[in-house]
Amino acid sequence: MIAVLQRVSEASVRVDGAVIGQIDAGLLVLLCAEKGDTEAVADKLLAKMLKLRIFSDEAGKMNLSVQDVGGGLLVVSQFTLAADLAGGNRPSFTLAAAPEDGRRLYEHFLARARAAHPVVQTGQFAADMKVSLVNDGPITIPMRMSA
């Protein structure tokens, strides 16, 4: 699985003009399942993400996790993270999981996130979404987990 984490002071996602997910300070998580990914991979990614120390402590050092600061998670599916650019100017997405597998792993990730963290908001799988954010720092961390 691939995730891009952005530390935000606020973020939201809209579908058809309506806000369907929104957080204040926390992490915007762009999430992509790749072919061969499993629930165990999703669990491993979530565990690492929740413990990742990218929030500032009182001394201004990145020493706290999203759980430590009580920040929210806004999780948005984004299959385009699996883009393969080797073949020319038009990206190929053959490395992304099939839609039914992607949806299953996205929903698994969300269920586990909600069980482990108090504030979890989402986008809508396979929808045309408009994502807004205020990147705090800016801090943007790419993550990739495999079996």
> Which residues are catalytic, by number?
78-80
Distance between CA atoms of 25 and 42, rounded to whole angstroms? Answer: 23
- Per-residue b/e over 36-55, b at no fewer than 16 CB within 10 Å? ebeeebbeebbeebbebebb
Residues 6+ apart with CB under 8 A from 115: none
CB distance 79 to 126 below 8 Å: no
Tell me the two tokens of residue 16. 């058809």
Query: Which letter does DSSP use for residue 103 in this model?
Result: H
Q: Under DSSP, is residue 71 helix (H, G, I), strand (E, B) or coil? A: coil
